[in-house]
Amino acid sequence: MSELRDKIKQRMDILQMWMEENYHMRRPEVVEEHIQTITKFWSALDDEDKDYIEGARYAIEEQMEWNIPEENKLKNKRTLN
């Protein structure tokens, strides 16, 4: 995996963790700042990452909880592949 992909993956993993913990409900500005550290690589992001970011931004804007059924959390975990 390239250094850029590693950097993106690491930042996306943090975003996923924060969203699943609903950290965006307590500190939306922190989560949005973190998203900006990812979107500066927009052209290198895959469609899945772009969709996730757009969903996260929507949840921040609408002050929505990020609810994923517990049984799906493990399936949705990002992998090192």
pLDDT of residue 68: 78
The answer to whether residue 8 scores a pLDDT higher than 60 is yes
Q: How far is CA 60 from CA 35, 51, 53, in A?
A: 11, 14, 10
Within 10 Å of residue 2's Cβ, how many Cβ atoms?
8
For 26-73, write each residue's pLDDT tens digit: 999 999 999 999 999 999 999 999 999 999 999 999 999 998 777 666
